[in-house]
Amino acid sequence: MKIYDEENGWKSLRTESMDDLWYLKNILSPDTLLKKTVMRREDKKEDMERSKETKRKPVTVTIQPESVEFQPFTDRLRITGIIREGPEGITGQHQSLAISTDDDVEIWMSSWDRITEDLLKESLIKGSSGALFVSIDDESASIYTLRDYGLYLNGRIESGKSGKAYNVSYSRSSYFEEIEKFLMGIMGDYPIIITGPGFEGEYFLKYLQEKKFHGKIFQFPSANSEDGAIYEIIGKEQVRRILGDSRLSRERDAMEQFLKELAKNGNCAYGSDEIRRYSEAGAIMVLIVLENLIREKSVVQIMEMARSTGSEIIIASDSGQYGQMLRGFGGFVAITRYRI
């Protein structure tokens, strides 16, 4: 994300990646205004029906968002809202627009709160270098990209060794060649981390090395498969050195610590009433909040109280393993300094 202008509560932003769209989704709310140039049909009063041939023209509109939908599989952020400013005759109408990577938008808030400012700062300073993960066994390989909002599944390749794709002429080298071709189409400058149960990951690493595959390649075995393998290894020190300070590893560390404290009835809290009590006492060390809750007034109050006493606040992505865990605890949990 780039911020290239700020004036009178307006910030002019440029999105540069899918990660930026996730951040933007969590910044927008009914309390914000968004200005963007869109293509709208020319409405003519004498036309009772709108034909497919009706011309569209670019107009700049300011909308108040009503719904914001992040669509990672289409690289789009879809927003629907009411037009508050625009050409004569369209104010008050509904407008849908899509924001993709490399788009310019302007956003206004009457007062930019700390939560929003922190999200913007995080989007500007990328701690993680990103990576491609190949979670592989002898039946299939799943290729994921590490995003700030979680793991993005690029695709899955079947080996043909079993299941519906069973092929008596199964060839490991052909299987590996397909994966290699897939990686070459998406890899960019990302390091590649191979994981998964058994020895297939080790064999695939050797295959790439023998092919003198361009790029940094690492291999870490795991007991799990699919995305479970990635969640398993992402906390390893060697993987951290490759990834840098990724959001996913921070979420993992915080949730693992919470679960450990919970298991021994230690320094932790969950449930809105209990967390509010700890927040009012200044006893929260780390507060982990699901992204879908950060605009709810009661949750914002708790977040602000916690922040004022030096608590670390982690906004967790709704997608992935840790988001599912958080939903099971009501959407937010805390690691506390002590029990009260």
Q: Is position 50 within any domain?
A: no
Query: Considering the chain, what percentage of its residues have pLDDT values greater than 90?
Result: 63
Last residue of a domain, one of 214, 243, 272: 243
Return the pLDDT at 319: 80
Strands 312-316 and 284-290: parallel
Residues 73 and 139 both lie in one domain? no
Q: Say if residues 193 and 218 touch (Cβ distance below 8 Å).
A: yes
Task: Count, in order, helices (H) and strands (E) of the chain.
Answer: 10, 16
Q: Say if residues 287 and 312 touch (Cβ distance below 8 Å).
A: yes
Q: Say if residues 270 and 255 touch (Cβ distance below 8 Å).
A: no
Last residue of a domain, one of 113, 142, 157: 113
DSSP state of 275: H
Q: Is position 269 within any domain?
A: yes
Give the model's confidence band at 244: pLDDT under 50 very low, under 70 low, under 90 confident, else very high: confident
Q: Give the pair of three-digit tokens for residue 327.
A: 């939903």
Average pLDDT, the chain: 89
**Number of independent structural domains in the chain:** 3
Residues 82 and 141 both lie in one domain? no
Residue 297, class by beta-carbon neighbours within 10 Å (0-12 exposed, 13-18 middle, 19+ buried)?
Answer: exposed
Q: Is position 311 within any domain?
A: yes
- Taking only the tens place, the pLDDT of each residue in 213-237 is 888 999 999 999 999 999 999 989 9
- Taking only the tens place, the pLDDT of each residue in 152-195 is 999 999 998 865 555 555 789 999 999 999 999 987 788 999 99
* DSSP H helical ranges for the chain: 18-27, 114-124, 172-186, 200-210, 226-233, 237-243, 247-263, 272-280, 297-308, 321-328
Q: How far apart are CA 137 and CA 252, in angstroms?
A: 24
Return the pLDDT at 208: 96
- Taking only the tens place, the pLDDT of each residue in 127-155 is 455 799 999 999 999 999 998 888 999 99
Task: Find residue 143's DSSP bridge partners.
Answer: 134, 155
Residue 195, class by beta-carbon neighbours within 10 Å (0-12 exposed, 13-18 middle, 19+ buried)?
Answer: buried
Residues 141 and 211 both lie in one domain? yes
Report whether pLDDT(41) > 80: no
Q: Pick from 189, 205, 190, 188: which is nearest to 141 by CA?
A: 205
Q: Is position 154 within any domain?
A: yes
CATH of the domain at 201: 3.30.420.60
Rounded to 5, what percent of the chain is helix, strand, coil? 35, 35, 35
Q: Say if residues 37 and 60 touch (Cβ distance below 8 Å).
A: yes
- Taking only the tens place, the pLDDT of each residue in 51-97 is 555 678 889 999 999 999 987 667 789 999 999 999 988 999 999 99
Q: Say if residues 183 and 191 touch (Cβ distance below 8 Å).
A: no
Q: How far apart are CA 272 and CA 329, in angstroms?
A: 10
Residues 62 and 13 both lie in one domain? yes
Residues 8 and 91 both lie in one domain? yes
Q: Pick from 115, 117, 125, 114: which is nearest to 1 by CA?
A: 125
Task: Give me the domain span that covers residue 272.
Answer: 247-336
Residues 158 and 136 both lie in one domain? yes
Q: How far apart are CA 182 and CA 123, in angstroms?
A: 29
DSSP-assigned states of every residue in 13-50: EE--SHHHHHHHHHH--TT-EEEEEEEEE---TT-SS-
Q: Is position 121 within any domain?
A: no
CATH of the domain at 105: 2.30.30.870
DSSP state of 157: E
Residues 199 and 220 both lie in one domain? yes
